[in-house]
Chains A and B, each alone.
Chain A
Amino acid sequence: MAGQAYPDVPLFRYDYTDLSEAQIAEKLRSPAVGGPGSKGELQDLGSADLRFTAVDGTKLSWQFAPGRRVLLDGGTPAGYGALTLDHVTLFAHLVPGTTRGYAVAWDQQTNQATVFELWFGGGPAPKAREVNRHIMHGSIAGPGGVSGEAHHPTLRMEGRSFAWTEDTGMRTVEYYPSVTYNHWVELDRLKDGRGYSAPADYIMLTEDLYAHTRTEAEFSGLWHMSIMDLNRLEQAGLRLGFNGADELEYYMFRGTGEWLGQYARFEKFGEFSAEQLKVADGKKGERRVYRPLATMDILTPAEVDAVAAANTHVFDKPSPMAGNGTTPSGALSGKSFTIHYDRGPRMEYRFTSADSLEWRKDGQGSFRQARYNAWEVMPNAFIFGHLLQGEKNHDSHIAVVDLDNGMATNFHGFLNTPYIANEAGAETLFGRIEGQGIANPGTRRHERTRDLLGRAFTWEYSPGVNSMHVYSTPNTTSWVIPTPEGQFGSQWSGTGDFIKIRDQLYFARWQEEACNGTLGTILINMRTMHDAGIGYHCGKDSLSLSAVGAPARHAGKADVDKFFPRA
């Protein structure tokens, strides 16, 4: 069944067709002969005869013929495309009668080359539609001989971000916060301006020129690559794979870029190695690809109810997400107030101790007791959270209350979403606080902010439990995991929301959708560079509210505001 080429739902909600290798072979038959499409003119390499030897000894040859025909190792003629960026030529073709293809970056000054062997089906990707790639660095025999440094993986692109505009008109904001992952935001193909994360390659061709690839694993499986001149901010690239409507996208493009920023790198000084996350005895093309849904507990609503009934934990054990957290505050003890949420409930609170409160919703029934924790992150500005026992969706309220100005914001969490019962859904509620000595804010409320947009912060939660957040779009939080050597590695992303509480005090959240299911909330104090927060999670073992807290480093800010116009 044909679907949407670019879905109007988040990609992790879209049910991509599990295309068979035979279906893919059929879809590649004609394009293999015709070669890749292009908006602009593709280069003709004449009758060149290129013989490549990889550093591992693998040999490949391409015999080019007029009319953009090429024979791989003397095989069946295929159509090819070529584009040259300064002195590096990128050519690409499929191999007729197979589900294989090649993209080659050839430096005509040095004859250094990188070959990307590409294939659909047969693994290691779990689905045939996900493009596999195997990278070979080497050289091409030529009259000028081979000179210079071999192409190699690099960390030199780590932390950068660019906006690229293809000659197709498609615009993409790309963050390169890791040496093995990419985070990209389709500004035109997708409508909700959301960022996604994908396994990537970063290859240094010269000091100026780099090759970059991403494989949209877990989603369409498309492979998108380019060689890029980072001084001239130009690129030439190839897109290969099947979109959401199962249409083949096989075209080359030129693009122009805009430098958006550079996040700090955290390797030791003098450390320039850029090894990918290794797989022991890996198959050809195999690498570590984070597939979060495969490791997530997936429960039914009945199972969620059973877990909640049997094993609910609210701030009753140490949290690895708060080993470096601050001490909970008892300063709310003895206070009473009511939060009136706009288009939401009226919550009455009596804080009976440092970790116990009584709540009543919309004035109905009697007060209920709940365990809570609170943190005073700036004087008189608190984050606190509790479960609403008895609510059918096992709701949580994680609220920030500013008792100086009477405003409150609640990241209301709930289970039993339409997607996965134990995946936390969330909504943001704004309100005012009514209580003795608390100023009435009138119609003033906390507001969504762009102050965090494009910023990245590292968080050191506990020994070995570290991450960097990238607030890549107004509705995306992405998290990247460092290696012990300080390189950033695997990355994933989910829905985010960002609220300004006070100057330099922000309430942020992320939802681990189709990925462990947690709702993470943090109140970030950029003056102390520390946060305090609460995680809301339901898995097969328990329903829990637990502390989150870590000191922060500000890794930098990408200048992306203009790409996300306000509604």
Chain B
Amino acid sequence: MDQNSKLSATDPTCTNRRSFLKTGALVTAPLAAVAIPAAALAADDGSRAKLARLEDERAIEGLRRFVLRKINGDASADCGEFVASADAIELDAGLRSIADDPVEEPALALSEDGARATCRNSCRVEVETALTGNTTLERMARFQGQGSHRSSEKRLLLTDYVKRDGEWKLAHLRLA
């Protein structure tokens, strides 16, 4: 099995579970950051900038959770609405789900210019491995009805974001 396939949102040959991550017409972005006039920012005492930052953080966190929901569930989802490029999502073909660590908060870092952001957070991933080989144990496992194996492991979810036309997009998602 290809353990390191790079998911492409536009690859029509992609047959793994995340083939739903196809690009398409952009939909109304629920995650758009609120545009704040530069003059207003310059004029105030910094609270507007803080507010903008908070709103960016909230939008990015919303986007991050939205992406995970799409990866984990909706097979008909269109990833074109939230990715910045067709190869933004890089996941193993056998990956089946990603669940945030319930205790650890994601660590988000915004760039100085407010146009880029990175996020790291602990997560637990579920991986499915197909048992396709011809060793006796694999044959016996298939005989028992176990054609694949699911396991979960703790990983680090690394995501990058970019703001385009006032909307945050997922630039890159990978597991470490």
Which residue numbers of A lie inside 8 Å of B, CB to CB?
A: 277-278, 288, 290, 292, 295, 320-321, 461-467, 479, 481, 483-484, 489-490, 492, 512, 515-516, 518, 535, 539, 541
* 8 additional A-B residue pairs with CB within 8 Å, beyond A461-B137, A464-B131: A462-B129, A463-B129, A464-B149, A466-B137, A481-B140, A492-B136, A518-B135, A539-B134
Which residue numbers of B lie inside 8 Å of A, CB to CB?
A: 127, 129, 131, 133-141, 143-146, 148-151
A462 to B134, CA, bound (A): 14
Asked if B137 and A321 make an inter-chain contact with CB atoms under 8 angstroms apart, the answer reads: yes
A321 to B149, CA, bound (A): 15
Asked if A516 and B139 make an inter-chain contact with CB atoms under 8 angstroms apart, the answer reads: yes
Chain B residues positioned under 8 Å from A288 (CB to CB): 143-145
Chain B residues positioned under 8 Å from A467 (CB to CB): 137
Q: Which of these, B129, B131, B140, contacts A290 with CB under 8 Å?
A: B140
Asked if A481 and B131 make an inter-chain contact with CB atoms under 8 angstroms apart, the answer reads: no
Max chain A CB contacts within 10 Å: which of B127, B141, B148? B141
- Min CB–CB distance A545 → chain B (angstroms): 13
A457 to B129, CA, bound (A): 24
Q: Which of these, A466, A484, A512, contacts B136 with CB under 8 Å?
A: A512
Asked if A464 and B139 make an inter-chain contact with CB atoms under 8 angstroms apart, the answer reads: no
Chain A residues positioned under 8 Å from B134 (CB to CB): 516, 539, 541
Chain B residues positioned under 8 Å from A484 (CB to CB): 146, 149-150
A295 to B137, CA, bound (A): 13
Instruction: Name 13 interchain pairs, CB-CB below 8 A, sorted by A.
Output: A290-B140, A292-B136, A320-B137, A320-B138, A464-B149, A465-B137, A465-B138, A466-B137, A479-B136, A483-B146, A484-B150, A492-B136, A535-B135
Chain B residues positioned under 8 Å from A465 (CB to CB): 131, 135, 137-138, 141, 149
- Min CB–CB distance A276 → chain B (angstroms): 11
Chain B residues positioned under 8 Å from A489 (CB to CB): 144
Asked if B129 and A464 make an inter-chain contact with CB atoms under 8 angstroms apart, the answer reads: yes
Asked if A516 and B144 make an inter-chain contact with CB atoms under 8 angstroms apart, the answer reads: no
Chain B residues positioned under 8 Å from A295 (CB to CB): 139, 143
Chain B residues positioned under 8 Å from A290 (CB to CB): 140, 143
Q: Known contacts A295-B139, A321-B135, A516-B136: does B151 contact A463 (CB below 8 Å)?
A: yes
- Min CB–CB distance B121 → chain A (angstroms): 24
Chain A residues positioned under 8 Å from B137 (CB to CB): 320-321, 461, 465-467, 479, 481
Chain A residues positioned under 8 Å from B140 (CB to CB): 290, 481, 490, 492
Q: Which of these, A292, A321, A463, A518, contacts B127 with CB under 8 Å?
A: A463
Chain A residues positioned under 8 Å from B129 (CB to CB): 462-464
Asked if A278 and B145 make an inter-chain contact with CB atoms under 8 angstroms apart, the answer reads: yes
- Min CB–CB distance B140 → chain A (angstroms): 5
Asked if A515 and B143 make an inter-chain contact with CB atoms under 8 angstroms apart, the answer reads: no
Chain A residues positioned under 8 Å from B146 (CB to CB): 464, 483-484
- Min CB–CB distance A461 → chain B (angstroms): 7
Q: Known contacts A463-B149, A464-B131, A464-B146: does B141 contact A515 (CB below 8 Å)?
A: no
- Min CB–CB distance A510 → chain B (angstroms): 10
Max chain A CB contacts within 10 Å: which of B134, B140, B148? B140
Q: Which residue of A has the minimal Cβ distance to B148? A: A464
Chain B residues positioned under 8 Å from A466 (CB to CB): 137
A566 to B2, CA, bound (A): 51
Chain B residues positioned under 8 Å from A278 (CB to CB): 145
A157 to B66, CA, bound (A): 48
Max chain B CB contacts within 10 Å: which of A464, A479, A512, A518? A464
Q: Known contacts A463-B151, A464-B149: does B133 contact A320 (CB below 8 Å)?
A: yes
Chain B residues positioned under 8 Å from A490 (CB to CB): 140, 143-144
Q: Which residue of B has the minimal Cβ distance to A462? A: B129
A557 to B145, CA, bound (A): 29
Chain B residues positioned under 8 Å from A541 (CB to CB): 134
Asked if A277 and B144 make an inter-chain contact with CB atoms under 8 angstroms apart, the answer reads: yes
A512 to B134, CA, bound (A): 13
- Min CB–CB distance A433 → chain B (angstroms): 32
Closest 7 CB pairs of A and B: A464-B149, A516-B136, A463-B129, A481-B140, A320-B133, A463-B149, A463-B151
A500 to B127, CA, bound (A): 39
Chain B residues positioned under 8 Å from A321 (CB to CB): 135, 137
- Min CB–CB distance B154 → chain A (angstroms): 15
Asked if B136 and A515 make an inter-chain contact with CB atoms under 8 angstroms apart, the answer reads: yes
A462 to B127, CA, bound (A): 13
Asked if A464 and B141 make an inter-chain contact with CB atoms under 8 angstroms apart, the answer reads: yes
- Min CB–CB distance B153 → chain A (angstroms): 10
A463 to B138, CA, bound (A): 11
Chain B residues positioned under 8 Å from A539 (CB to CB): 134
A509 to B144, CA, bound (A): 24
Q: Which residue of B has the minimal Cβ distance to A484? A: B146
Chain A residues positioned under 8 Å from B143 (CB to CB): 288, 290, 295, 490
A290 to B141, CA, bound (A): 11
Chain A residues positioned under 8 Å from B139 (CB to CB): 292, 295, 516
Max chain A CB contacts within 10 Å: which of B136, B144, B145, B146? B136
A489 to B150, CA, bound (A): 18
- Min CB–CB distance A165 → chain B (angstroms): 32
Q: Which of these, A320, A463, A481, contacts B144 with CB under 8 Å?
A: A481
A466 to B129, CA, bound (A): 13
A321 to B127, CA, bound (A): 19
A518 to B139, CA, bound (A): 13
Q: Which residue of A has the minimal Cβ distance to B149? A: A464
A288 to B141, CA, bound (A): 12
A464 to B94, CA, bound (A): 13
A24 to B136, CA, bound (A): 34
Chain B residues positioned under 8 Å from A535 (CB to CB): 135
Asked if A481 and B135 make an inter-chain contact with CB atoms under 8 angstroms apart, the answer reads: no
Chain A residues positioned under 8 Å from B141 (CB to CB): 464-465, 481
A515 to B137, CA, bound (A): 11
- Min CB–CB distance A553 → chain B (angstroms): 16
- Min CB–CB distance A265 → chain B (angstroms): 17
